[in-house]
Structures are given as C-alpha cells and as structure tokens.
Structure 1
C-alpha cells in the first residue's frame, strides 16, 4: 500500500510543478534555457549556485518582506487615499508617479524604487479604477531611465563607476544628457498613454486605518535593511528580519512572492552561463568594440540577450570606454523584459495577468527610439 502511495505521490508532485511552471512564462523559459545550456555546455550541477548573486537575492527577499509589512499595515491605502484627493486627473497622476519613481531610482536603485512606487500604484488602483497595466509599464520605464543618472542607480552603473575610477560628479555629468533625453521621451510617452479624464473616486468610501506599530517598524526596518544591504550585510539583516516577523507577524513572511525569488535565482544561473559561453566572447572579439559607437551598440544589443548587468561585465573586458558602455547598457534596459531585472520585478509586483504583451508593445519601440537618442549623444 505504501509503495502504491509513493508512486501516486510522485506524479502528483511533478504535476504540481509542471502546472506552476506552465502558468509562469518567464519561469518556463528559464527552465528550458537551463536545460539547453546544460546539454550544449554542461556544468557541474553543484557549481550552479556559485553563479547566483546571493547578495541581490537576499536583498530582494528582505525588500519583499518589508514591502509586504507596510502593505499589510494599511499605510499604502491611506497614502493612496490622500494622493487621489489632491491629484484629480489620470494623466497628472501617471506623470507624478513616473517622476517619483525616476527620482527615487537615482538614490535608492531602480529595484528599491519599484518596491516603493508599484505597491502605491496598486493601492491607488483599488481606490480609483486606473489603467494599471499601463501605469506599471511607465513606472518600470521610469526607474530604468532615472537610474541612469548616478552610480547608485543600478548595478551596472555601480560596476562601471568602480572600474572606471572617475569621480562621482564626473560620472553624473557624463550620464546627465542621456538621462534627461530619455526622461523627456518618457514624459511624452506617458502624456500620450493617459487621458486627462478625472479620477473616479466612487470606490473610496471606507475609512483607511493604519496599523501604526507595524507601519513604523516596517519603515524603520526598511531604512536599516537598505543601509545594511548596501554595506554587503544582506544575509544577517535578512535573518534578523525574517526571525523577527516570524515571531511577531508571521503572515508578513508567508505572503511574499516566493516564486519571484526562484525566478531570480534561475535568471542568474541562466544569464551568467550564457554570458560565459566562448561563442559570445568570440563574437564580441570578432565584431570589435574599439570605437565608442561600437561599444555603445554592443551594450544596447547584448543586453537584450543576457540583461544589462552581465552585458556590462562582459563588455568591460573588451572596451575601457566606460561612458559608451554605460550609455549602451542603460539603453539596453529597455526593449525585451530581460534587458533589465527591474522589468521583471515590476511585472511580478503588479500581479496582473497578460502583462508581457502590453509591456513589450511599449518597451520595444521605446528601446528603438532610445537607441537613436543614445547614438546621437555618444
């Protein structure tokens, strides 16, 4: 009888896994790509965890917990209520959220900015019906565009700033023209995508109470966690955070998006395995990135295949023109979703089904225009 139960459990287990994978297109693509890579260029399975940037994964886990804590406190709904009663038009609200997301991304990194702005947008959507898919798309574009400005804005900027050896103000001044031009482009796109119609506040009829203790702890812990993560202590900070909430408010930990963490782990393994392929290095060496325009084009295009952070790391071996590389991988964050990991976070945080098609309908033309703008400025 036990053998029968064991045989029956195994298919059920794999069936559940298959159902989960099939419902998540990104997860399905990553699993397929990993299998293909392991067949074409096999690595020892035990070596694969070494490809994961665990600092980033641990930081992401901590941010998911803290964002969930602030959400469960009711603060976001309260803030959304205050905001919609001061901003009366859909277009004005979209432009405001785009500016907020871009501004935060210059100092908090594009990922952290998303964890602040996307949940706020979702709370706004609960109060006043909004075109939430379009809103999340422009917010994702905003954090990628705004984060271009400073070395703190995204991982590829931080890497190129550290390897270039230039001063902080020098880096900012070099990237300012591209950031400004893309923010103007995004402003035009946002203006065209949203109407000036008034917000429908008929759904805002309930009192919005805030659990001040949970909110206060969440905000203070958010600041402390980001500080510790920035100092490369994300592991101990996450452990303290998880233990504290499990003992106090366990639902905060249980309700986070665990699948997003799995997708990030697989993405690091697949992208870094692809970036290490000899064929990619040979192709880059054959094409040559000796001129600024070639280095820029290589960064913008290669990011579409292996994401902009691995692209920056790979191309830095072939070119010392940090400005051209920064321009290229920054533009490469647009286009296909894999161009920037922030795109994936934004889509996952939205919780909306059918997001990938509308995202690419906007993001790919934006990338094409951004390519032209970057080429003119380089």
Structure 2
C-alpha cells in the first residue's frame, strides 16, 4: 500500500473531533470504573458494527460505479421543482425505512442525494437533515423498521400487524407533520442545474456485483450471520475493487465502537447503579420522559436495552424511545450516520434547528396518544 493510501486512511481519524471526544470520555469513565478488556468488548453491539460496515462497503461500491450520478440526473429531469423533489426524497426515505430499517434506507438515499450537489444548486444539506428525520418517523411504524423496535417486538407477544397497528397513529402524525414542514421549507422554484456537468457511463459490472452482494448480505442478516455476509462483501471488494476499501469512512466504525463502550462504562458507575434500580417503580409518565431523556444522552437503542432490563416491553416504551430519536443528533444512530455521510461541518448545527422542535412535538404527540 502506498504512503498516499495510508495517509488517506489515517486522515479521517486525525480530523474526527467527535471520535477524539468519545475516546477522551471513555478514558475518563474507565478511570472512574475500570473494567476488564472482555467486558469492554461485550459492551459493543458487534452485530450493529458488522451490519454498518457491510452497508458502507456496498454503498461506496455503488457510488464508485457511477450509478448514483445517472439516477440523480434522471430524478432532476423528472422532478423540476425543489419542493417536489424534496417531498419525493423525504417520503422515499420514510417508506424505505419502514421495511428495510432506517440505516439501510439512509445508505440508499443519502449517496443519491449527495450526487445532486454535483448536478444542481439544491440545498443538499437541508435535504439530508429532512431525510434523517424521515427515517426516524417512518421506521417507527414497523417492528423491523429500526433496532429498538426489533428489540421491543422480540420481547412482546404481538404479531407483526398488531405492532404496526399500535405504532401507526404515532407514525402517521409524525410523517404528515414532517411532510408539511418539508413543503414549507423548500422553495417552489425550478431546480437550477449546474452548467456543463459531464455525464459518465456507470460501471455495469461493478454495479451488478454490488447488487448481487447486497442480496447475499441481506440474506445473511436475515439468518443472523451478518459477519459472514460482511466477510464475503469485504473479500469481493478486496479482489475486484480495492478502491472501495480505501474510500469508506473507517473512522465512523470506530465512532460507534467508542459510543458503545462509553455507554457501557457510564452504566457501570457506582453513582448510576442505584438510580437504575429505581426505574421499575417509576410511574408511566416518568418512564416515558426517562426513555426520551436517555435517548438524548446515550441514543435510543441503548436506552431501549437499558429500560427493558427493568420494565416490560410496551407501547409506552416504544413511543418514548422512538420519539427520543429526534432532538439531539446522538438520539438516534441514524442521525449520526446521515450527518457523517453529508460531510458538511455546519450541518450539525442546522440539524438541531429542525430536530429539537420536532422532538418537542413528538413528545407531545406521543404522550397525547398514550392518555
């Protein structure tokens, strides 16, 4: 491997301030509550890590094939208004997240959205923010829409359609609210296309290979052997397209590993342990607010795992942790994925301009439906 390639791999780690903060926080927490290495490894949800890596590899492969450029041009030529393009992309993200999970949906729609930056003067950053909100709103509908719902469903006795029936009112209100917000947040003016944008033919062989590998990977996920699926994807790209391995955001993988370890260490603090044991005796309103609050601090998937250790799976917990996906970026892993993929420094601040009011609205709507 050349020195330039090594430098290219290391640069994201050197510039990733969020990762640096997580590492420093982890060192401080470890000093306060030391744990054996095996326990630190157990804190990490390796299924999530492996799934994330596999999806990142596949998405980067499709991106390098040039197919997103082709599709992006077709969309712009069909939907000529910024407003209708935004409505289409936001609704598509929500719909995909209901059945393919929120992270899979993002790995389909975000790279496509990013290609629009090369083809037009669209406010791509704002589009990505709304797509992040959309996958949170759409994924809460089904038991397979996001990791927290999968956990809640597995701990309940509900059928697939019974779960959907309980979540549908909340999801519908949040999705309609987001579409209304999208309508007023994007201009009705025609899309201004970037002049002299070259069109490159996409690499059919690489694209078809990615599609085939995607099927293999999803089958492995379905049979709960994600590591083997990721290994197949990794080895295939190592043989036929090493450029994919060099261009994915490896530091994002370590961000998630550091988050899991930090959260695990936080729950082991002696000062925190007595507080956790009191959760089972809390009234419904307190459990609801605790689920939302924990999501803002440790993300909604770990918050779900923690709550289910003390209270049974219920629509109350489901509404709380799904509402908690809005608000701060850390509220949902999907938010972090979307904002990292956007690659814009100021997008983190802009995201909270929309997401914090949406959290307040989701909190009110969810509690109103539970009464």
Give the TM interval when normalised to the shorter protein.
over 0.9
TM-score (norm 1): 0.91
CA distance in 2, matches of 1:371, 1:253: 41
Closer, same or farther: CA 190–25 of 1 in aligned 2, 3 Å:
farther
Q: Distance in 1 between matches of 2:278 and 2:302?
A: 19
Following superposition, the deviation at residue 65 of structure 1 comes to 0.9
The offset of 1:276, in angstroms, is: 4.1
Q: Find the aligned partners of 1:265 and 1:37 in 2 and give their Cα distance.
A: 15
Match of 1:367 among 359, 363, 367: 359
Matched, 1:254 2:254: no
Note if contact 1:228-1:237 (Cα within 8 Å) is conserved in structure 2. yes
Please state how far the C-alpha of 1:290 moved relative to its aligned partner.
4.7
Change (3 A) 1:254 1:293: same
Q: Please, which of 39, 42, 51 is the counterpart of residue 31 of structure 2?
A: 39
Deviates more, 1:40-49 or 1:256-265: 40-49
**What's the Cα RMSD here?**
2.0
Post-superposition shift, 1:208? 3.5
Change (3 A) 1:357 1:78: same
- 1:10 maps to none
Kindly state the Cα deviation for residue 285 of structure 1 after the two structures are TM-superposed: 4.2
1:98 Cα deviation from its structure 2 partner: 0.6
Which of residues 76, 80, 90 is equivalent to 1:84? 76
Tell me the TM-score normalized by structure 2: 0.93
How far off its partner does 1:23 sit?
Answer: 3.3
Aligned mates of 1:294, 1:73 — CA distance in 2: 50
Correspondence 1:219 to 2:211: yes
Distance 1:45 1:188, change over 3 A: same
After superposition, the C-alpha distances for 1:254-293 in whole angstroms (9 at most, x for unaligned) are 1111111111111111122223445445324446665433
1:26 to 18, 31, 54: 18
C-alpha separation between the residues in 2 aligned to 1:66 and 1:18?
A: 21
The 2-side partners of 1:19 and 1:213 are apart by 30
Name the CA distance, whole Å, in 1 between partners of 2:281 and 2:104. Answer: 32
Cα 1:251/1:20, change in 2 over 3 Å: closer
How far off its partner does 1:103 sit?
A: 0.4
1:283 aligned to which of 250, 257, 275? 275
**Residue 121 of structure 1: how far off its partner (Å):** 0.3
Provide the residue aligned with 1:63 in structure 2. 55
Structure 1: 5+ residue runs without aligned partners?
A: 1-15
Distance 1:318 1:46 in 2: 24
- State whether structure 2 residue 114 is matched by structure 1 residue 122: yes
SS of aligned partner of 2:155: helix
Taking a change above 3 Å as real, the CA distance of residues 145 and 228 of structure 1, as seen in their structure-2 partners, is same
> Structure 1 pair 269/94, CA: closer, same or farther in 2 (3 Å)?
same
Moved more, 348-357 or 155-164: 348-357
| 1:15-72 Cα shifts (integer Å, max 9, x gaps) | x999866732321221121012112111124531221111111111111111111011
Measure, in 2, the Cα distance between the counterparts of 1:119 and 1:109: 16
Distance 1:42 1:302 in 2: 23
Q: Which has the higher contact order (CA 8 A, sep 6+)?
A: 2
Q: Which range is displaced more, 282-291 or 42-51?
A: 282-291
CA distance in 1 between partners of 2:248 and 2:43 (Å): 24
- 2:234 paired residue among 229, 239, 242: 242
Give the number of equivalent residue pairs: 363
